A and B are shown apart, each in its own frame.
Chain A
Amino acid sequence: MSNPNKPLLPPPVPAPDLSVSLGRLRLPNPILVASGTFGYGREMVGFVALDRLGGIVPKTITQLPRRGNVPWRTVETSAGLLNSIGLDNDGIEAFLKNQLPWLKQCGAPVIVSIAGATQPEFVQMADQLEGVPGIAALELNISCPNVSHGIDLGTDPEMCRRVVAGVRGVTKIPVIAKLTPNVTDIVAIAKGAQDGGADAITLINTCQGIAVDWRRRRPMLGNVIGGLSGPAIKPIALRCVYQVRQALDIPIVGVGGILSIDDCMEFFVTGASAVQIGTANFADPRASMNLLAALPGALAEMNATRMTDLIGSLMAGAGAPAGELQKAAGNQTHAS
């Protein structure tokens, strides 16, 4: 006999389709972890079910080993983190030998982040990675604010195009260009990446800044200038995603200041096909898992059954705050 007090269960909701495509790259879900904020993946085994992630972007590698910048390397600022790590890494050879063998069996798509000091060095590194099993895509870090090479590849549209085109010329692996927000016209740089043949672009790397200890009359970072990340930069990242989405037709990976599921949803609606979690991994090592767990509920709230229902669905014109809309809707129901 059925129990009359038993609440009626809502009809079962089919699990939403979380998969997304970034050009030729297909990912099981849109929650990725950002380069430089997740080590080489192995460090996170105690906190994260790596095989559930949409993708892992390990710390950027360079052709030759780099010791990185002198400490202090990070300093916390208001709702943000300023860093000048300086691409501390053991070089591409050591990565292939010591990190990739473990990474490629961890169950998540591995997007290898590379930084060349010059265009030919980018091409050389991509060539070396071509044919190596276990690499889902390359992310070209043409935006690191911590290494100065004289020419800044990431701030000139034509240089950006040549880097991407050069890499595309030597590899079949999907290519994502990661751009810096420290430019006057982000759309022009993104256009360069698109023209070069990028499958997608990642927006954004950190915003340049400094922090000062006035009592000692000294800069806080060993390198003086660093890159700002964390909640403080989210509006800048969203603005970049917005502008590029309005102007171009290229898949975007959004990154910058994401802490909560609301932050993720803002990026999706604005036009990001996937997001990367950066500084949030430091604030809570389980952040990526928490966001992944919250995603289906947020999709359901929007009556979306797949990610494509959501991506870039931002409407023109400013609306009343959601609370106001709900109130208005409530009043209507009441009146009818």
Chain B
Amino acid sequence: MHTPSPPVVCYADAARCIVADIVSHRLVAENTYRLRIDCPEIAASALPGQFVMLRIPERVDPLLARPLAVYDTFTAADTEPSNGDTPTEARRRYADFIYTVQGKFTTALKELAPGAQLLVWGPLGNGFSVPTVDHLLLVAGGIGQTALLALGRECLGNKLYGSSLRSVPRAKRVTFCWGARHGGLFGDVTDFRDAGMDVRLATLDGSVGHRGTVVDLLDELAQTEDLLHPQSIHIACCGPEGMMAAVARWSAARKISCDVSLEAPMACGIGICFTCVAKIRDAFGEWDYRRTCIEGPVFNAMAIDW
């Protein structure tokens, strides 16, 4: 028998469930699409690192919704050419997602044209909360960049998500390291560059950027950087599990704080099914299965039993 630690009180109370129209949908990289939906109820409050559940209404195959990270959100004024008037409605209205085609849901989703509807609930999950540091390192593998753009933007003062009253720690620099199998998989890298991030790419086949993995990019960075003050650096990471575990080991060895966003399979996204569990350690080192949809998906890398 194990003694469970007291429940962490977190619920999806702020989430809304709505039917949203697809506004735009386009290919941005190999097998990778960018989707924009009209969902003011969700876009206005979504914070960096949060996600939504998306489903094609009325379908029983696929039956369940799938989680996608909120990549970015926009107001109407952001997306329409300005007519010189100051926008009366500055609330964020559109949410963008970038996804790779994997299986049942994403194969069906990519066929949907603007005007089609999706059932959406969110925003969900805890999102990233970043300590005040000089240098924020965003580390993505595969499609993991989707969880990180908004965080980088906020820390550079480029954009503020959610309530205009939120205060967000600023970083002097944001470096974005992104690794993929080959260069054709990088979509909309300009979003990161235009936001003022230092972008470094790695591919396994060397077709774009450094030949190797994101850990090689981190090693390279460590040679040029003074790592004597690890407390002035923070890592936020999202990608395949093996890659996140490697980044977690890398940062632990250098005493750099590291948060990761887990991509556990999910059936509900709101804490009612107990599908999405990960082994999480409490302060005493005792592990328990925790629901990553409501207690995560972002965890301190040290708390995860990889």
A residues apposed to B, CB below 8 Å = 36-39, 42-47, 59, 64-65, 67-68, 71-76, 78-81, 83, 85, 88, 90-91, 94, 98, 230-231, 259, 279, 281-286
Contact = CB atoms under 8 A, between A and B. Distances in A.
Given A46-B15, A284-B55, A88 B63 contact: no
Chain A binding site: helix, strand, loop or mixed by DSSP?
loop
Given A47-B121, A65-B2, A283 B270 contact: no
A43 B270 contact: yes
Contact of A79 (B12, B63, B270, B277): B63
Contact of B272 (A44, A83, A88, A286): A44
B186 to A, nearest CB: 27
Contacts of B14: 46
Given A85-B274, A90-B4, A71 B63 contact: no
Given A45-B13, A68-B289, A76-B104, A285 B121 contact: yes
A47 B63 contact: no
A65 B15 contact: no
Nearest to B268: A282
Contacts of B274: 36, 59, 68, 73, 85, 88
A37 B4 contact: no
B77 interface: no
Contacts of A67: 2, 288-289
Interface in B268-306: 268, 270-275, 277-278, 288-289, 294
Interface residues of B, number: 38
Q: In this complex, which of B3, B4, B13, B294 has the most chain A Cβ atoms within 10 angstroms of its Cβ?
A: B4
Nearest to A230: B63
Contacts of B104: 76
Contacts of A43: 11-12, 270-272, 294
Contact of A285 (B4, B270, B288): B270
Contact of A39 (B55, B63, B121, B271): B271
Chain B binding site: helix, strand, loop or mixed by DSSP?
loop
A319 B277 CA distance: 48
Given A45-B13, A83-B273, 8 more contacts: A39-B272, A42-B11, A46-B14, A73-B277, A91-B4, A230-B60, A231-B60, A283-B63
A283 B64 contact: yes
Contacts of B121: 47, 285
B70 to A, nearest CB: 17
Q: In this complex, which of B3, B63, B64 has the most chain A Cβ atoms within 10 angstroms of its Cβ?
A: B63
A220 to B, nearest CB: 10
Given A74-B275, A76-B63, A81 B267 contact: yes
Contacts of B64: 76, 81, 279, 282-283
A73 B275 contact: yes
A281 B63 contact: no
Contacts of A73: 274-275, 277
Contacts of B61: 78-79
Contacts of B12: 43, 46
A46 B277 contact: no
Contacts of B65: 282-283
B165 interface: no
Nearest to A87: B274
B87 interface: no
Interface in B151-179: none
Nearest to A231: B60
Contacts of A230: 60, 63
B270 A286 contact: no
A286 B121 CA distance: 10
28 contacts: A37-B272, A39-B271, A39-B273, A46-B11, A46-B15, A46-B16, A46-B270, A47-B121, A47-B270, A67-B289, A68-B289, A72-B275, A73-B277, A76-B63, A76-B104, A78-B61, A85-B275, A91-B4, A230-B63, A231-B60, A279-B63, A279-B64, A283-B63, A283-B64, A284-B17, A284-B55, A285-B121, A285-B272
A35 to B, nearest CB: 11
B228 interface: no
B1 interface: yes
